[in-house]
Structure 1
Amino acid sequence: MTATGNPRAERLRAIMVEEGLDAVVLSHPHDVRYATGYHSILERWGQMEAMAAAIVYADPAKPLTLVIPEANLGLVAVLNRDGDACTFGEIRTFDMLNFCEVSRYIDPDRPVTQLGRDAGELMPAIAGSCQPDVTAAIAAALADHGMAGKAIGFDEHRVSARIAPAVPHDYRDILDLMMRARVVKTAEELTRYRQVGLLADRIIAYAGSLLHEGADWNDVQARICDFMVRHAVIPVDEGAMLFGGAYEADEFIPDLFRTRGNRTLRRGDIVILETQGIHDGFWVDINRTAMIGPPSDAYRRQHDILRDAFLKMVDHLRPGVSTASLPQIGYDYLKAHGVATPEKLLVVAHGIGLMPLEIPLPYPAAGLAGVKQGFIMEENMLISLDSLYFGAKLGPCHMENVYAITAKGPEPMYAAPLELIEAPATRELTDA
């Protein structure tokens, strides 16, 4: 349960030293999880204010500090039941509503459980007294570790403003710094994402198996959601997939971001399967194209050209190469092979991990800069290469894969074939 052997915190500390920071205070759920491994169901509530925090000091002699509601000590024990998933040097606690007050009362009719004993073993790690709220707990930790007047980075400026009267400091915004830290993965993170890849392959295969002439699109999405949940993947939302659906009774539009399906699938429909969800904190993001019934020779050829263009771009996923160079490679290949309107090819190469889009550029990175400016790929980045052709003559073709950037070449995280999924004209829906 100690902070030793936490390569994410060590990477962050090295960047802090380069930037002249004495400490960083992390209160965004992604950043807290990155630095410590801590996460809870509370973060899924989507509250505007932090439900936990982490403090990383540039001085390695100072402890990695985890700030949590006192009542969640048991959760830390659960996270660490099979190993040190949650690492810290000390714990600072605060009250959340009156949960913590209630939990302090001893129930004489309830025997001490193993969870209670494991949570009790965390007591020596608790420093200071329980504070009335998260910012008071952060301020107490910073003061105790001599951070008054120091350069402190925050991923949430309100936390800085709140603690300033108690702990005056030189405020720094670290949103961009955290993205730079998180976009390059540790060996442990890459190992975890390989497991995500295995699940992504199963999900996309199952999604393809549900397609047939007469299938109800909403039912297909609901079944994919159920499959994901049963395999420990949290769907992006109740629809499970980013693309697809019907706009009007006679119009199925695979290009639209999430439209309700109000008719059954028909022979000749193109279905874009982009299943998105979260497993072990990391995003699944895999994209394949399916056709209901046999495709025309022309469409099959178009899809094969797009696949080959995709592989040409994959060849350039290497350290030192800019992601900005990839769209031109895809465009040139489509144009050289006679694909109509090659300008309709949308190529985005982005980092992926705790968020579906991790782009190490100054905020805001999700505008044109994310593609036009791009960023230089580094070893151990996870890059999702997203190739979306919105051509109108024969219809769209889309595909997306995630790759680990290595000195020897890109390592695919997904093994699902890039070939067109050809759904039979008729088939009964089955559960897996």
Structure 2
Amino acid sequence: MTATTNPRAERLRAMMGAEGLDAVVLSHPHDVRYAVGYHSILERWGQMEPMAAAIVYADPDLPLTLVIPEANLGLVAVLNKDGDECTFGEVRTFEMLNFCEVSRYLDPDRKTGKLGEDAMAMVGAIRGECQPDIASAVAAALADRGMANRRVGFDEHRLSARIRDAVPHEFVDVLDFMMRVRVVKTDGELARYRKVGKLADRIITFAGSVLHEGADWNDVQAKICDFMVRNDTIPVDEGGMLFGGSYEADEFIPDLFRTRGNRELRRGDIVILETQGIHDGFWVDINRTAIIGPPSAEYQRQHDILRDAFVKMVDTLRPGMSTADLPAIGYEHLKANGVATPEKLLVVAHGIGLMPLEIPLAYPAAGLAGVKQGFVLEEGMLLSLDSLYFGAKVGPCHMENVYAITSGAPEPMYDTPLELIVAPLAAKATAGETEPAE
């Protein structure tokens, strides 16, 4: 149950040396999942207070520590049923409301099953007493491992403040540091994302298959959400796509960030298909443009110019180049080919993984710095290249792909062609609408 190797934790530990950190205490759900693989439904509640933590020590002889509610030991067994998804050297437990207290009472009428046996097998990994809360559990672990008066990084300053009296330490904010750690993927993470890419291709193909003249926009989104859920993908929310919707009774705006529609799709409508969701903890983020019925020659030409600009940008993706150089490449191509107002081209290059935007810059990275300053590519990064032309003359064109940065040409994670999707004018049933889940 407690794997001896964890490449993600090893990468984190290796980078801690340059920061002079003796330990890092991680309680943000993404950082906990990165370090030890642990995740639960509790993190989806969106609580302000963390429900789990992970402690990584610079000293490789000290154990990778998982801090969870005692009642969730069974969940770790579930995570590890088919392999070592959750890896740790020791477990520190704490109470969560009175769930743990109640779970200690044995039901004489219930026989112990395999899950109970596997959960009990982890008892040997538990160190110390069950503490009244997560802060007390973290403090006990740090004290036991000699971290008093040491340099300790936290991704949540409240946790540091809460335990300072019990375990005096030098506080270091490691939110930006953790982004730099996570943005370069391990071989195992890249293998996982290749599977995500195959699923993304299926989702975008399905999304295109349910478009047709007369289709209801809200129904289209509901069908995509259903398809995603049936294929083990959590939609970004109640809608399956980021763009499109209605504002006035007779108006469909392809670039309106997901708004409910109130009319059927018509011939000539442009639909932006950016399907977003989470599979195996990683974000699906693929973007293509569709049109209802045959496009005009002018619109098809514009789309193809944008596609060629996109390919030009992709061809430059190599270790050592800066993402800040990409927008100019796209702009110059559009300008040279006579596209109206090429300044309306928005190019965003960002890391992707446990979050849709992973930008290894100091906070706040989601401002202009994320594009104007950019960041230098490293081998092993997953880069999402998003190209959005908000053209007004014949309409917008968008496309987005994810690439693994290698020592040579970038490896595409999605195989769906960068071509305009042409939806039929007449409504028709498709195999995709009833395609069984895999």
Tell me how far apart the structure 1 counterparts of residues 80 and 262 of structure 2 sit (CA, whole Å).
46
**Contact 1:3 1:64 survives alignment (8 Å):** no
Q: Is the 8 A contact 1:151 1:169 kept in 2?
A: yes
The answer (yes or no) to whether the contact 2:3–2:84 under 8 Å persists in 1 is no
Task: Specify the alignment match of 1:36 in structure 2.
Answer: 36
Q: Give the secondary-structure state (helix, strand or coil) at the position aligned to 1:386.
A: strand
Among 430, 434, 438, which residue is 1:431 paired with?
434
Task: Give the letter aligned to residue 168 of structure 1.
Answer: P
- With 284-293 and 249-258 compared, the bigger mean Cα shift is at 249-258
Which runs of structure 2 are paired with 1:225-374 in the superposition (5 Å)? 225-374=225-374
Amino acid at match of 2:305: I
User: In 2, Cα distance between the equivalents of 1:39 and 1:389?
Assistant: 37
- 1:291 Cα deviation (Å)? 0.3
The residue type equivalent to 2:148 in the other structure is A
CA separation in 1, counterparts of 2:352 and 2:217?
Answer: 28
User: Deviation at 1:409?
Assistant: 1.1
- Aligned letter for 2:278? I
**Cα distance in structure 1, aligned partners of 2:173 and 2:115:** 39
Q: What amino acid is the match of 2:417?
A: P
Provide the rounded CA distance (Å) in 1 between the counterparts of 2:105 and 2:174: 40
Q: Could you tell me which runs of 5 or more consecutive residues in structure 2 were left unpaired when the two chains were aligned.
A: none
Q: Which amino acid aligns with 2:122?
A: L
- Identity score, percent: 79
Equivalences for residues 23-422 of structure 1 within 5 A: 23-422=23-422
**Cα separation, 2, equivalents of 1:288 and 1:33:** 30
Deviations 1:184-211 (A, max 9, x none): 0000000000000000000000000000
Could you tell me how far apart the structure 1 residues matched to 2:350 and 2:356 are? 8
Local SS of the residue matching 1:266 = coil
Distance between the aligned counterparts of 1:81 and 1:3, measured in 2? 13
Inter-partner Cα distance in structure 2 for 1:178 and 1:152: 13
CA distance in 2, matches of 1:264, 1:373: 42
Q: Output the amino acid matched with 1:198.
A: K
Q: Distance in 1 between matches of 2:365 and 2:226?
A: 33
Runs of 4+ in 1 over 6 A off after TM superposition: none
**Displacement of 1:3:** 5.1
The one-letter amino acid paired with 1:353 is G
One-letter code of the match for 1:16?
A: M
CA–CA distance in 2 between the matches of 1:298 and 1:211? 22
- Whole-angstrom distance in 1 between the partners of 2:66 and 2:317: 36
Q: Match of 1:15?
A: 15
TM-score (ref. length: structure 1): 0.99
Matched residue SS, 2:71: helix
| 8 Å Cα contact 1:295-1:422 kept in structure 2 | yes
- How far 1:258 moved relative to its partner? 1.2
Q: 1:307 is matched by which residue type in structure 2?
A: R
- Residue type of the partner of 2:142? L
Q: Distance in 1 between matches of 2:102 and 2:391?
A: 60
Q: Which amino acid in structure 2 is aligned with residue 138 of structure 1?
A: V
Deviation digits for residues 75-94 of structure 1 (CA, Å, limit 9, x no counterpart): 00010111110000000000
Aligned length: 432
Q: In structure 2, what is the Cα distance between the partners aligned to 1:240 and 1:96?
A: 33
2:286 maps to amino acid: I
| Aligned partner of residue 325 in structure 1, secondary structure | helix
CA distance in 1 between counterparts of 2:245 and 2:260 reads 5
**Contact (CA 8 Å) 1:3, 1:63: kept in 2 or not?**
no
Number of the residue aligned with 2:5: 5
> Unaligned 5+ residue runs, structure 1?
none
Residue type at the aligned position of 1:400 = E
Deviation at 1:428, TM superposition (A): 2.5
- What amino acid is the match of 2:245? G
Determine helix, strand or coil for the equivalent of 2:208.
Answer: helix
Distance in 2, Cα, partners of 1:400 & 1:231: 21
Distance 1:165 1:426 in 2: 70
Letter paired with 2:434: D
Instruction: Tell me, in whole angstroms, the C-alpha distance in 1 between the residues paired with 2:158 and 2:114.
Output: 39
1:50 shift after superposition: 0.5
How much has 1:133 moved relative to structure 2? 0.4
Cα RMSD of the aligned pairs, angstroms, is 0.7
Q: Deviations over 1:122-152 (max 9, x none)?
A: 0000000000000000000000000000000
| Contact map agreement 2:63 2:89 (CA 8 A) in 1 | yes
Distance 1:353 1:106 in 2: 41
> Aligned partners of 1:384, 1:299: CA distance in 2, in Å?
25
Q: Which SS does the other structure have where 1:400 is aligned? A: strand
